[in-house]
Chain A
Amino acid sequence: MLRQWGPREAIGALWGEEEQRNEGARSPAKRAKDMELAPTIEVRDLEERTAIRLKDITKTFGEVVANDAVSLDVDWGEILALLGENGSGKTTLMNMLSGIYFPDSGEIQVDGKTVTVRSPKDAFGLGIGMIHQHFKLVDVLTAAENIILGLKGQGKLDRKAVARDIKAISEKYGFDIDPGQKIYDMSVSQKQTVEIVKVLYRGANILILDEPTAVLTPQETDKLFAILRNMKADGKAIIITHKLHEVMDISDKVAVLRKGKYIGTVNTSETDPQRLTDMMVGRAVSLDIDRPRAEHRNLRLEVENLTVLSGEGVKMLSGVSFSAFGGEILGIAGIAGSGQKELLEAIAGLQKAQAGAHIRYFPPESEEPIAGKHIPVKRDGEELVGKNPTQIEKIGVSLAFVPEDRLGMGLVAGMDMVDNMMLKTYKNGRGPLVDRRPPKKLAEDLISELEIVTPGVGTPVRKLSGGNVQKVLVGREIASSPTVLMTAYPVRGLDINSSYTIYHLLNEQKMKGVAVLLVGEDLDVLLELCDRILVLCGGKISGIVDGRSTTKEEVGLMMTHLPGGREASAVSVLQAGRTERGEDQ
């Protein structure tokens, strides 16, 4: 038995109307017909239309209230979007539905009955399946092994039978999946497919998707939405959490959370993004990002034929050439792992470039405000390849990389702000002792300028919230008054307000004539903020487009296709890299 019957199917069978199951959400006309045929059953059906009801759910972590008396309703055959900023408690709420967390108080009803979800196992039993934002998959296992993980069954694994069942589900909803493929060989969207098949295989009728489109290209998003609509038509209840952009497209209802509190639910057809944002933030905010034109626009960096190998010898960047100008923000787009990190690190001197590569740096003209703050270099282009990171930094090239865990690179979690400021400057001092006064002054300045919330300069940065940590990191880089500012994912995990502070900082630098290189994951933001966008696809440049005239679809296509029509996903490029080394898999 692959999946349990939802009440819709059960009632459909009662009526003997098999075809009704496949016909999709009931239309008003259909419902009227049902009323004539079986009025008594229809009344029962109406009562049971609610798939999930949350009542006054509260959850605290220590002193932090993650969810404060949140209530929600989702019906069968409906897609509810749960909207809120980072840290508003969306994921926490969904984790309680799927049994990862246990609520402090409140009530969960599934299909009209009050239930207790103590563990993910309980959730499966109730037909609730969650697709986490960070995929819960075991890399070294195959798709099929991941799908059957934790299920009861005969002790010995019958791989053939499992593959057959997976195929049946795939055909029903339109998935494309190879049961024998290892997870580490998969692209992000393939992994997501495995996650969805996994919960369907367990008979889930209520699907929760936590920010499912955050990692997908626009085309992959369309594909996912088509599948979600198939499932909705099949009568399943779907909850997706989201950061606004595609909500209008897919959902029937939108519920909004703000700082753990439930704000309200609106019908998608009766609202618009601006009103939803106001609900999320709690006051009117402007969604427009400025894109001023800078006064000075001179060639700053010229990258030529840059190739970078990973530690395993795989080509992470291959023959990359482009120029970056002062006074512009050059966005770098691409599927995660397409070489963005390697590109920035190669320029900063942290990655070794292969022979034949040139990275030429041109200092700002003497009349520019940012000129003269760094060691003088050749006016006709200083070669950066072969220089070490310290030398490159002294020239004025600065890197602020915000990794996934936000702290791994750039800041030392256990050290306080003063020490973290000093990391950049202690080498300038003379003698064996360090002078803590200038970095302390800098730390205090940053706190007041960027409104960093911290008990004091002596608090370890680990104890600061994500947004404040990022302000410390980006602020420190900007304080060194760079002429090239490279930053990756600077707004990762930030709320709307802090994000706009960071965008503003970047624009400020650009207006001063700094060349800003920005790796971003949110295409919408890149399109609004950047002057030009460089698109990477599997370590190669598939094009550089003008940020003012390009479209999301164009950039999305370029992320998966190199010019000349050849399709190259990150995975196939990865595999190509393996074959180049003569390693057989």
Chain B
Amino acid sequence: MGDFNLAGFLTAAVLAGVPLLFGTLGEILTEKSGNLNLGVEGMMFMGAVGGLAGPYFYEQVGGTSQIIAVLLGLVLAFLCAAFGAFLYSVLTITLRANQNVTGLALTIFGTGFANFFGEAIGSTNASNYMSVGKPTVDAFNNGIMGLKGAGGVGDFFASMNFMVVLGLLLAGFLAWFLGRSRKGLNLRSVGESPATADAAGINVTAYKYLATVLGGGICGLGGLYIVMNASSGVGGTWVHNCVGGRGWIAVALVIFATWSPTRAILGSLVFGALSIMRLYINLGIPAQIYSIFPYIATVIVLIAVSMRRKRENQPPNSLGLAYFREER
């Protein structure tokens, strides 16, 4: 333990936590509308492949601008995942299909969709991989605070890339939106009691669609991060099954955070730390056991949250239920 590098550990924990943060925030927004979308994993996959394909094709046609590559990645990751969420919305909101089944189907669909296109596009390339160039990867990985080499705390801040900041800003915005704005209040009431919201003149269908589709898009950004980040991802190359269960952890994190965007920050940090622990803390146990830790933590949190029953910490009341105005 003597050579334990705290700053290094924290840095890695934050970087590993960011995709979880995006997934969690997206799912919180979705669930606040009363839609339990279990397809986070699938949407992250779709975001990942879309976010990689954008800059990849841009580079293939000779594009060199870092900024355009990054923007293409962000926009396409968002749109691709939002498309998945849109399919889910049509099925569950308009056609009132079972949300659990549809969410699981979305995960299967998204995983297959991403692996197929990731590998199909890669096979057209001489290297047999869909891969973006170093400038693009750097844009996603380099710190934006310019404190390189300051040591200790400075190093920590220096390695924070723009996605970290984007995630934190998004969490802050969502917290303000849900807690302090009229639209947020309306959204919460849709998730709690759609019949009430409807009687109050709120367009329940529109709120559900928007929250689910935007939430899905945000999950997609988490997928983009995984595919682009070098330290806790795959660094700009399509790797089979690269999301690897992080979408499921995000679903669990929503419960850990008790549907609060600010607590989601803490949750993703903790889960991020657990997932990279074996590289920094040697407990003298087989490496495989470390990779179980996040899942064990999920189980513990689920038990703890279920036992501590505060009204404000409960899931939205109509979570998982379809709404039909003229139902009798």
Whether A140 pairs with B311 at a CB distance below 8 angstroms is yes
CB distance from A337 to the nearest CB of B (A): 15
A residues 118-167 in Cβ contact with B at 8 Å: 119-121, 124, 130, 132, 136-141, 145-146, 148-157
CB distance from A405 to the nearest CB of B (A): 12
Contacts of A137 in B (CB 8 A): 193, 196
Contacts of B195 in A (CB 8 A): 136
Contact partner of A156 (CB less than 8 A), chosen from B180, B197, B201, B202, is B180
Contact partner of A136 (CB less than 8 A), chosen from B183, B193, B328, is B193
Whether B326 pairs with A149 at a CB distance below 8 angstroms is no
Residue from A98, A121, A148, A150 with most neighbouring chain B CB atoms (10 Å) = A150
B: contact size bracket: 20 to 34
CB distance from A394 to the nearest CB of B (A): 35
B12-20, B184-192, B229-237 - interface stretch: B184-192
Q: Decide yes or no: A100 and B198 within 8 Å by CB, A149-B186, A155-B183 being known contacts.
A: yes
Whether B326 pairs with A61 at a CB distance below 8 angstroms is yes
Q: Decide yes or no: A100 and B197 within 8 Å by CB, A149-B185, A150-B202, A155-B181 being known contacts.
A: no
Q: Decide yes or no: A138 and B198 within 8 Å by CB, A155-B182, A184-B311 being known contacts.
A: no
Residue A312 at the chain B interface, CB threshold 8 Å? yes
Contacts of A157 in B (CB 8 A): 180-182, 185
Contacts of A61 in B (CB 8 A): 326, 328
Whether A101 pairs with B183 at a CB distance below 8 angstroms is no
B residues 281-328 in Cβ contact with A at 8 Å: 309, 311-312, 314, 317, 325-326, 328
Whether B311 pairs with A136 at a CB distance below 8 angstroms is no
Whether B192 pairs with A153 at a CB distance below 8 angstroms is no
A residues 293-325 in Cβ contact with B at 8 Å: 312
Contact partner of A138 (CB less than 8 A), chosen from B182, B188, B309, is B188
Contacts of A119 in B (CB 8 A): 201
Interface of B is mostly: helix
B residues 194-226 in Cβ contact with A at 8 Å: 195-202
User: How distant is the Cα of A130 from the Cα of B196 in the complex, in angstroms?
Assistant: 12
User: How distant is the Cα of A27 from the Cα of B219 in the complex, in angstroms?
Assistant: 66
Contacts of A101 in B (CB 8 A): 325-326
A residues 100-119 in Cβ contact with B at 8 Å: 100-101, 119
Whether B326 pairs with A140 at a CB distance below 8 angstroms is no
Contacts of B314 in A (CB 8 A): 140
Contact partner of B188 (CB less than 8 A), chosen from A136, A141, A152, is A141
User: How distant is the Cα of A167 from the Cα of B182 in the complex, in angstroms?
Assistant: 20
Contacts of A151 in B (CB 8 A): 182, 200-201
CB distance from B175 to the nearest CB of A (A): 14
User: How distant is the Cα of A182 from the Cα of B314 in the complex, in angstroms?
Assistant: 15
Whether B200 pairs with A136 at a CB distance below 8 angstroms is yes
Contacts of A132 in B (CB 8 A): 199
Give the A interface residue count (CB, 8 A): 32
Contacts of B325 in A (CB 8 A): 100-101
Q: Decide yes or no: A138 and B196 within 8 Å by CB, A100-B325, A101-B326 being known contacts.
A: yes
User: How distant is the Cα of A154 from the Cα of B182 in the complex, in angstroms?
Assistant: 8
B residues 3-51 in Cβ contact with A at 8 Å: none
Whether B181 pairs with A120 at a CB distance below 8 angstroms is no
Contact partner of A139 (CB less than 8 A), chosen from B181, B185, B192, B201, is B192
Contacts of B192 in A (CB 8 A): 138-141
Whether B201 pairs with A120 at a CB distance below 8 angstroms is yes
Residue ID in chain B nearest A91 by CB atoms: B328
CB distance from B80 to the nearest CB of A (A): 29
User: How distant is the Cα of A151 from the Cα of B200 in the complex, in angstroms?
Assistant: 8
CB distance from B119 to the nearest CB of A (A): 45
Residue ID in chain B nearest A182 by CB atoms: B311
Residue ID in chain A nearest B191 by CB atoms: A138
Residue ID in chain B nearest A66 by CB atoms: B328
Whether B328 pairs with A141 at a CB distance below 8 angstroms is no
Q: Decide yes or no: A136 and B199 within 8 Å by CB, A61-B326, A61-B328 being known contacts.
A: yes
Residue from B182, B186, B193 with most neighbouring chain A CB atoms (10 Å) = B182
Contacts of A198 in B (CB 8 A): 200
Residue ID in chain A nearest B313 by CB atoms: A140
Residue from A100, A136, A156 with most neighbouring chain B CB atoms (10 Å) = A136
Contacts of B188 in A (CB 8 A): 138, 140-141
Residue ID in chain A nearest B198 by CB atoms: A120
User: How distant is the Cα of A139 from the Cα of B192 in the complex, in angstroms?
Assistant: 8
CB distance from B304 to the nearest CB of A (A): 16
Residue from B181, B189, B197 with most neighbouring chain A CB atoms (10 Å) = B189
Contacts of B181 in A (CB 8 A): 155-157
Contacts of A136 in B (CB 8 A): 193, 195-196, 199-200
Contacts of A182 in B (CB 8 A): 311
Whether A150 pairs with B326 at a CB distance below 8 angstroms is no
Whether B201 pairs with A150 at a CB distance below 8 angstroms is yes
Q: Decide yes or no: A153 and B182 within 8 Å by CB, A98-B199, A120-B200, A312-B309 being known contacts.
A: yes
CB distance from A507 to the nearest CB of B (A): 33
Contacts of A156 in B (CB 8 A): 180-182
CB distance from A152 to the nearest CB of B (A): 8
Contact partner of A121 (CB less than 8 A), chosen from B185, B193, B201, B311, is B201
Residue ID in chain B nearest A147 by CB atoms: B200
Whether A145 pairs with B185 at a CB distance below 8 angstroms is yes
Whether A149 pairs with B189 at a CB distance below 8 angstroms is yes
User: How distant is the Cα of A157 from the Cα of B186 in the complex, in angstroms?
Assistant: 11
CB distance from A205 to the nearest CB of B (A): 16
User: How distant is the Cα of A116 from the Cα of B309 in the complex, in angstroms?
Assistant: 45
CB distance from A513 to the nearest CB of B (A): 41
CB distance from A558 to the nearest CB of B (A): 30
User: How distant is the Cα of A98 from the Cα of B201 in the complex, in angstroms?
Assistant: 10
Residue ID in chain B nearest A134 by CB atoms: B195
Residue ID in chain B nearest A184 by CB atoms: B311
Contacts of A141 in B (CB 8 A): 185, 188-189, 192
Contacts of B199 in A (CB 8 A): 98, 100, 120, 130, 132, 136
B residues 142-198 in Cβ contact with A at 8 Å: 180-183, 185-186, 188-189, 192-193, 195-198
CB distance from B153 to the nearest CB of A (A): 35
User: How distant is the Cα of A511 from the Cα of B220 in the complex, in angstroms?
Assistant: 70
CB distance from A467 to the nearest CB of B (A): 16
Contacts of B197 in A (CB 8 A): 138, 149-150
User: How distant is the Cα of A141 from the Cα of B202 in the complex, in angstroms?
Assistant: 16
CB distance from A498 to the nearest CB of B (A): 19
Q: Decide yes or no: A149 and B312 within 8 Å by CB, A141-B185, A156-B181 being known contacts.
A: no
Contact partner of B200 (CB less than 8 A), chosen from A150, A153, A155, is A150
Contacts of B182 in A (CB 8 A): 148, 151-157
Contact partner of B193 (CB less than 8 A), chosen from A100, A138, A145, A184, is A138
Contacts of A312 in B (CB 8 A): 309
Residue ID in chain B nearest A131 by CB atoms: B199
Q: Decide yes or no: A149 and B200 within 8 Å by CB, A136-B193, A139-B192 being known contacts.
A: yes
User: How distant is the Cα of A83 from the Cα of B107 in the complex, in angstroms?
Assistant: 52
Residue from B186, B195, B201, B312 with most neighbouring chain A CB atoms (10 Å) = B201
User: How distant is the Cα of A101 from the Cα of B311 in the complex, in angstroms?
Assistant: 32
User: How distant is the Cα of A312 from the Cα of B314 in the complex, in angstroms?
Assistant: 14
Residue ID in chain A nearest B176 by CB atoms: A156
User: How distant is the Cα of A136 from the Cα of B192 in the complex, in angstroms?
Assistant: 11
Residue ID in chain A nearest B200 by CB atoms: A150
Contacts of A155 in B (CB 8 A): 181-183
A-B contact pairs, 22 of them (CB 8 A): A100-B325, A101-B325, A119-B201, A120-B198, A136-B200, A138-B192, A138-B197, A138-B317, A139-B317, A140-B188, A141-B188, A146-B196, A149-B185, A149-B196, A149-B202, A150-B202, A154-B182, A155-B181, A155-B182, A156-B180, A157-B182, A312-B309
- Which residue numbers of A lie inside 8 Å of B, CB to CB? 61, 98, 100-101, 119-121, 124, 130, 132, 136-141, 145-146, 148-157, 182, 184, 198, 312
Q: Which are the 6 A-B pairs with shortest beta-carbon distances?
A: A150-B200, A121-B201, A136-B196, A150-B202, A149-B200, A136-B199
Given A120-B200, A138-B188, 13 further pairs, Cβ under 8 A? A100-B326, A120-B199, A121-B201, A137-B193, A139-B193, A140-B312, A140-B317, A148-B182, A149-B185, A151-B200, A152-B182, A157-B181, A157-B185
